[in-house]
Structure 1
Amino acid sequence: MNITIPGARVVDVRTSLPRHKTLRYGRRKLTDIRSAAMHHSATVSGSPEAFARYHVGTNGWPGIAYHFVIQKDGVIYWCNDPEAISYHVGNSNRHALGICLVGDFRTQQPTAAQLESANRLIQYLQAQIPSMTQVFGHQEYPGYSWKNCPAFPMGTFRTNYSQFLQKAVGKVDKPKQVPVAIKLNGALLSATGFLQDGVSMLPVRAVANAAGGKVEWIEQTKDVRVNGRDLTEKVVSGSAYAPARELAAVLALQVEWDGSTNTVGLRGEV
Structure 2
Amino acid sequence: MNMTISGARVMDVRASLPRHKTLRYGRRKLTDIRSAAMHHSATKSGSPEAFARYHVGTNGWPGIAYHFVIQKDGVIYWCNDPETISYHVGNSNRHALGICLVGDFRTQKPTPAQLEAANRLIQHLQVQIPTMKQVLGHQEYPGYAWKNCPAFPMGKFRSDYSQYLQKPVEKRDKPQQVPVAISLNGSLLSVTGFLKDGVSMLPVRAVANVAGGKVEWIAATQDVRVNGKDLDETIVSGSAYAPARELATALGLQVEWDQASYTVKLSKGCVAT
Band of TM-score, shorter chain: 0.5 to 0.7
Q: Which residue is equivalent to 1:196?
A: none
Q: 1:241 aligns to what?
A: none
Give distance in 1, aligned partners of 2:59 and 2:101: 20
Could you tell me which residue of structure 2 aligns to residue 145 of structure 1?
145
**Alignment RMSD:** 1.1
Mapped pair 1:40 → 2:36: no
1:63 — aligned with what? 63
Deviation string, structure 1 residues 11-68 (Cα, Å, up to 9, x no partner) = 0000000000000000000000000000000000000000000000000000000000
Which whole-Å CA distance do the structure 2 matches of 1:120 and 1:2 have between them?
14
SS in 2 for 1:125: helix
Which amino acid counterpart does residue 88 of structure 2 have in structure 1?
H
For 1:144 and 1:98, how far apart are their aligned partners in 2?
A: 15
Structure-1 residue corresponding to 2:82: 82
What SS does the aligned partner of 2:23 have?
Answer: coil
Cα gap change, 1:14 to 1:34, in 2 (>3 Å): same
Instruction: Specify the structure having the higher radius of gyration (Cα).
Output: 1
Is 1:154 paired with 2:154?
A: yes
- Equivalent residue for 1:12? 12
The residue type equivalent to 2:19 in the other structure is: R
Cα distance in structure 1, aligned partners of 2:20 and 2:2: 24
| Per-residue deviation, residues 81-121 of structure 1 (Å, max 9, x unmatched) | 00000000000000000000000000000000000000000
Report the Cα distance in structure 2 between the residues aligned to 1:6 and 1:34, rounded to whole angstroms. 23
Q: Which runs of 5+ in 1 are unaligned?
A: 171-270
Shift of residue 2 of structure 1? Answer: 4.6
How many residues of Structure 1 are paired with residues of Structure 2 in the alignment? 170
2:32, 2:166 → 1: CA distance? 26
TM-score by length of 2: 0.61
In 1, Cα distance between the equivalents of 2:105 and 2:65? 19
Deviations 1:124-153 (A, max 9, x none): 000000000000000000000000000000
Which residue identity is paired with 2:99? I
Match of 1:136, SS state, is: strand
Q: 3-state SS of the aligned residue for 1:4?
A: coil
SS, match of residue 167 in structure 2? helix
1:155-176 deviations in Å (ceiling 9; x for gaps): 0000000001111469xxxxxx
**3-state secondary structure, aligned to 2:39:** strand
Gaps (5+ residues) in structure 2?
A: 171-273
The Cα of 1:9 is off from its aligned counterpart by: 0.1
| Partner of residue 124, structure 1 | 124
SS, match of residue 135 in structure 1: strand
* Aligned amino acid, residue 62 of structure 2: P
Distance (whole Å) between structure 2 residues aligned to residue 151 and residue 116 of structure 1? 17
Distance in 1 of aligned mates of 2:136 and 2:168 = 21
Output the CA distance in 1 between the equivalents of 2:80 and 2:107: 28
1:9 corresponds to which letter in structure 2?
Answer: R
1:109 aligns with 2:114: no
Cα displacement string for residues 168-217 of structure 1 (whole angstroms, at most 9, x for unaligned residues): 469xxxxxxxxxxxxxxxxxxxxxxxxxxxxxxxxxxxxxxxxxxxxxxx
